[in-house]
A and B are shown apart, each in its own frame.
Chain A
């Protein structure tokens, strides 16, 4: 049940999807993997929307070079863990939700226990090995994965519903080479907003998700387009998931 404070806080969006929709957000558990360029805007907007439980995972500390895009981390936070810095701001932004911060490296040992109970996983990582691990677990546990990645003025996003849509390995069978990537904060913001919007739509059960579509943002050309992608029947991650799982996820 929403309390009076919540009804007031979320009044303008309850107009969109009703108290039932707001209840869905309140009871949702979302894991945000990464508290960097993508994780900051995603967490901010899921928090203000009233997603009831956010688990934010990151192992890094704040550096000055992060501050052009990682908007939850401020000058005063340099040297502090990103999880603590993000958690402090998010709790101030919305004290009515629960924020769990976990300062840990996402690897094969730690990740299963961190994502297993989630309703949704947000890929806010900066490298493909970690993304493939999240994708593997999303497929294994049947949890939707919301992918985003950025470089310079360019970004991409897609939504993965295991067993129903192309997974990350179907779309990108091979990882691009690792690099220290140039980036401007607005690109993180754009793609983070797309991811947060997808998460909200998924929880609310409304709109059309980016399943089987890869969204490509060209910030220099101010153009946004989606390209069709499809499941690889021989995909090592999701090829084994059959229709019964699809039904379960509907």
Chain B
């Protein structure tokens, strides 16, 4: 299946604004992000914490709908989905 990854802010600087991943059906959000980070240590450092979990401040959305709790990692992706990753900015 094909899943589009849409990146914002610093993530976009690292991996580009849109990537399309070819993944197995039923791939989890965590697996999709891990496969994306295989090609980019910078992305891994920015998106994951030291324990290998998706960093708690990173906002994740599937098809424009915010996902939270267990779905942040275990949520299942389907063909044609768009997974958006957004690191909030902090300056003022």
Contacts and interface: CB of A to CB of B under 8 A. Distances in A.
B90 A218 contact: no
B92 A38 contact: yes
A228 B89 contact: no
Chain B interface size band reads: 20 to 34
Contact of B17 (A221, A227, A229): A221
B30 to A, nearest CB: 17
A149 B89 contact: yes
A127 B90 contact: yes
Contact of A216 (B65, B66, B68, B86): B86
A126 B8 contact: no
A172 B89 contact: no
Given A175-B57, A177-B57, A221-B17, A126 B91 contact: yes
Contacts of B84: 227
B92 A34 contact: yes
A36 interface: yes
A218 B66 CA distance: 20
B4 interface: no
A6 interface: no
A126 B87 CA distance: 15
A149 B92 CA distance: 5
B10 interface: yes
Interface string B1-28: 0000000111011000100000000000
Contact of B57 (A37, A38, A172, A230): A172
B39 interface: no
B8 A37 contact: no
Q: What are the 8 tightest A-B residue pairs by CB atom distance, in nearest-first order?
A: A151-B89, A126-B92, A181-B91, A174-B56, A154-B9, A176-B57, A174-B57, A150-B91
24 contacts: A34-B92, A38-B92, A125-B92, A151-B10, A152-B9, A154-B8, A154-B89, A156-B88, A156-B89, A171-B59, A172-B88, A174-B56, A176-B88, A178-B90, A181-B91, A183-B91, A216-B9, A216-B86, A218-B8, A218-B9, A227-B61, A227-B86, A228-B64, A232-B68
Given A175-B57, A177-B57, 19 more contacts: A34-B92, A126-B92, A149-B90, A151-B9, A151-B89, A152-B9, A172-B88, A173-B56, A174-B57, A175-B88, A176-B87, A176-B88, A181-B89, A181-B90, A216-B8, A218-B9, A218-B12, A227-B61, A230-B66
